[in-house]
Amino acid sequence: MSPTQQSAFQANPYVGSYEALTGSGLSNLSAAIQVAETYLDGKPALRGKHKVAQVDRDSSFWSAAFLKSMPPAFWSTDVARLALARYLAQTRVSSPALLAHVAQIAPDAVCCAIRYSRMALNPIPARRAELEEIAGFTPAIHEQRQILEIFDQAHIERRQELEAWQARFANLSPFELLIYASLHAFQNVVPNEFDAQSWQSSTRRSVETIWYATSDLLAWKLKTAPESSIKLSEQQVAHSVATHMSPFLFPSTSGPMPRHDLRSAYENLLAAQIELNEFISRSVDAYSYDESIRFVRHGSRLEIEVVNLAMRDKWRRDGEKLSLIHGYWFYRAFEKFASSEIATQQIGSRENHEANRLAYIRAIRNQLRLDEVYGIDESVMLESGERVDLFQALLSLELTSAFFQRDFLQRYVELLHESRNWLAALGRLAWNGLVEGSQNRFPITWSAREEKVRSIVGWTVNRQSPKGSLAMAASILDFWTNDLATLAARLRKDESGLQPELFERPFLKLGQSVVQLPWVTGLQNNSTAAINNLRRIGARRAESKEETRRIEERLGKLFESRGFQVLMNWHPDSESYPGAGEIDLICFRDGAILVIEVKSTFLRHSEQEAWLHGKSTLRRAGKQLMRKVDAVQSALKDDPDIRSTFGIEYGGLIPEVRGWIVDTSIEHDHERFDGFLKISMEEIIIALRDDRRLLNDPAGILNSLPLKTQSTNVTLSPALKSLYPDEFSALRFFEVIETEEVWVEALSLI
C-alpha cells in the first residue's frame, strides 16, 4: 500500500481498502462489493487498540465517495441491498443525496432495502423523511411508502389496544400477573393440549404462541413494576395468593371475592399481545423477509400474493424436517436405553416407573443430540463458575415435566371430566394436594430456593450419590433458573441482551422464591429448552469455542468411520493463501475431496431469526468457504505435505474438490451460498449412519399423540432400504445429500 493509500485508509478505512483493491487490478465493481462485505461483517473492528463503534463504521462507509460512482449493477447485488438496509435501520448517520442517487438509478434496490430494514415496524423519523423526498422518483418507491403508512396505522392501533389493557394491570406484581396467566392456561390451554379426547398436533403451535406472548407480558411487567414487587418475600406471596388466586379456588362468602374482572381483563390483555405478535410475525416479518410473497395495496388494505410457491413450500418442509429430527433422536435414545442395564430396573416407585422410564429416555435423547450435534460435554460450567453434570440436569427437568404431567395436568383433566367446571376442578386439585401431604397443587407453584433444592435432590440419585446430592441439586436448579430481578434491572436500563423464553429456563427466581408454571414445564419440548439454554442464552459461555472444536472432532470421526481420510483444523499458510483461515474439515475418499465449514447456533422460531441467520452467518460462511476451497485446490497442486496426507502422487490427477456448509440449524436447508450447499448437521449424521428409518416414527408413537400417552414399550419396524445398496462410496454419499434422499421417505408420510 502506498503512503497515500495508507493515509486514506487511516482517514476512511473503506476508501483506503477500495483504492488498494482497485490498485491491485480488481475492477471498480468487484472492489466495491468486497468493501461492502467488509462493512456488513462489522470490520474494521479495531483501530489500533481501540474498538471501532458501529456509528463510526456507518459514517465512514456512507461518506465514501466511490459509492456515488457505482452503477446499478452494484446496487442490485445482495450485499449492496443489505448495506442499504443497514443504513435505513440506523439513526445517527444521514446521506440523503446518496439515497436519492440510488433511488434514481436502482429503485428496486431501495424498495428491497426498505423491506430488509424492517421499516414496517421501526419508522425512524429521519429515514422516513428521506423516503418522503424520494417517493416521487418512481412509482415503486411511492407504493412502498404508502404500504409503510398502512403498516404504521395497523401497528399503532395494536399498540394502543395492548397498552389500554396493560393499564388494567399496572398495579399488579409480576407474580400476580403470572397467577392470572396460569388461571387462563388451565381453563383454555391444558384441556386442549393434554386431553387425549381433544388433542390434535395442530394445538402445539397455538400453545407456543401463548407462551411467547406470556413471556412478552412478563417482560413488560418486569420493566415497569417496582423493584420491591420483584424481590418477593413470603408475606408478599401469601398476600398475592390470598387476594388473586385462593378466592377462585376456595370461594367463601366471608373472604375476598374472586377478581373475575381481572381474569376477564387478562384474556383481553393476552389476546392483544398475541394480536400484536401475530401482526409482527405474519405481516411485518412476512413483508420484510419472505421472498416468496409480496404485499399488494388495495386502497387502505393490504393483500398477500404468492409469487414463489416452491420457496413458500420449502419453509413448511424445513419445519417438518425439524419435527422428524426430534423423533429421530427419541428413537436413537430408545435404542441406547434398551441396551443398558437400567432398562431392566425399576425407576422410582412402581406407579411412577413408566413415566420415569420415559423421562430417562428423553434425557438420553437430549444428551445424545447435545453431544453429537452441538459438541456439549458431559458437564457444563455455570455463570457462577460451578460445573453441573449435564445428564443429571437434563434428567431432572424431564422428571420435573413428568411430575407436572402426572400430578397436575393429567389429574386436573380427570377432575375436569368429573366436574365439568374448570374452577371446581382446579379447586379440588389444590385441595387434594393440601390434604394428601401439604403439596402445592396450585396452577402456579412457588417455594423457597432451599426448599426447591431439597425437593429435587431425589432426582440426582446415581451410583456416585446413592442418596442424591444437595450440591448437585443446587447446581441443576441454577442451570435452569431465570433470575427475574437481574432481567428486570437490565430491561429498565434498556441494556442489550437476550431474554430467556419461559421454556428455556423454566425456574423463575423472584427474590428468594422459585416460581414454576406447570402448564409450561409439563408440556414443553425439553430438547429445545436445553439446546437454547446453552446455545442461545449461553452462546457467549467460555466453553462455547471448545464445544465448536468438539463438533468438528466428532463429525470428523464419523467421516473416518466411513473410510474417509480426515484432516481437521488445517491452517494454510496465510501468505500463500490469504484470507483462508482455519479449515474445519477436509475429507478424502474415492478420489474426491470434501471441504466442510461447520456452523453451530440454536433453534429458531421466527422468520426474522431465520432470515438474519441466512444473511449474516451463512452468507459469511459461503464467502469463507470459497476462500478455503480455493486454498485446498491450490495446495493439492503445490503442497507436497497435503498430497502426502491423502496419498496423492505428485503429478497425478488432482481430486475433485467440493465444499459444504454444515450447520446445526435447519433454516435455509439445501440452499446455496456463493455456490456452496448448506446442509443440516443432523442430515449428515443420518446419512453417514444410514439410519433414516428412525425418521419415520417406526413404532408409531410420536405422530398425533399427546405427550402423556407416549410409551416406552417400543418395537421397531424393519429397517428401510439402505441408502447404499451397492455399498458405501463417497460419490454415492454426495448424491444422497445433494438429492435430499435422507428425507424422501419420511416427508412423504406426513
pLDDT in tens, 565-592: 999 999 998 888 888 999 999 999 999 9
pLDDT at residue 198, as a whole number: 43
* Residue 683, pLDDT above cutoff 50: yes
How many Å apart are CA 190 and CA 518, to the nearest integer? 10
pLDDT at residue 465, as a whole number: 85
Mean pLDDT, to the nearest integer, of 393-406?
Answer: 94
Mean pLDDT, to the nearest integer, of 353-380?
Answer: 94
**Are the C-beta atoms of 715 and 665 separated by less than 8 Å?**
no
50-51 and 592-599 beta bridge pairing: unpaired
pLDDT in tens, 430-475: 999 999 877 899 999 999 999 999 999 988 888 888 888 999 999 9
For 689, phi then psi, to 5°, come to -80, -20
* Residue 497, pLDDT above cutoff 80: no
Tell me whether the omega of the peptide bond preceding residue 72 falls within 30 degrees of 0, making it cis: no
How many Å apart are CA 682 and CA 669, to the nearest integer? 11
Determine if the pTM surpasses 0.95. no
pLDDT at residue 206, as a whole number: 84
Buried b (16+ CB within 10 A) or exposed e, 426-451: bbbbbeebeeeeeeebbbbbbbebee
* Residue 199, pLDDT above cutoff 50: no
**Are the C-beta atoms of 230 and 222 separated by less than 8 Å?**
yes
pLDDT at residue 672, as a whole number: 97
**Secondary structure in 3-state letters for 358-398:** HHHHHHHHHHHHHHHCCCCCCEEECCCCCEEEHHHHHHHHH
How many Å apart are CA 147 and CA 134, to the nearest integer? 15
% of the chain residues with pLDDT over 90: 77
Residue 192 CB contacts under 8 Å (≥ 6 apart), including other chains? 198, 199, 203, 206
Q: How confident is the model at residue 48 (pLDDT cuts 50, 70, 90)?
A: confident
- Assigned C-alpha cell, 505: 429456563
What value does the mean pLDDT of the chain take? 91
pLDDT at residue 10, as a whole number: 60
Buried b (16+ CB within 10 A) or exposed e, 349-380: eeebeebbbbbbbbbbbbbbbbbbbbbbeeeb
- In this structure, of 359-368, 479-488, 568-577, 727-736, the range with the lowest mean pLDDT score is 568-577
3-state helix, strand, coil split of the chain in percent (to 5) is 60, 10, 30
Q: How confident is the model at residue 201 (pLDDT cuts 50, 70, 90)?
A: very low
**Are the C-beta atoms of 147 and 296 separated by less than 8 Å?**
no
Q: How confident is the model at residue 701 (pLDDT cuts 50, 70, 90)?
A: low
Q: How confident is the model at residue 384 (pLDDT cuts 50, 70, 90)?
A: confident
Instruction: Assign residue 727 a region (left: φ > 0; alpha: ψ between -120 and 50; beta: otherwise).
Output: left
pLDDT at residue 463, as a whole number: 80
**Are the C-beta atoms of 268 and 253 separated by less than 8 Å?**
no
Tell which wins on pLDDT, 97 or 713.
97
- Assigned C-alpha cell, 160: 394502543
Tell which wins on pLDDT, 467 or 396.
396
- In this structure, of 37-51, 503-517, 606-620, 708-722, the range with the lowest mean pLDDT score is 708-722
Q: How confident is the model at residue 90 (pLDDT cuts 50, 70, 90)?
A: very high
pLDDT at residue 7, as a whole number: 45
% of the chain residues with pLDDT over 70: 94
* Residue 719, pLDDT above cutoff 80: no
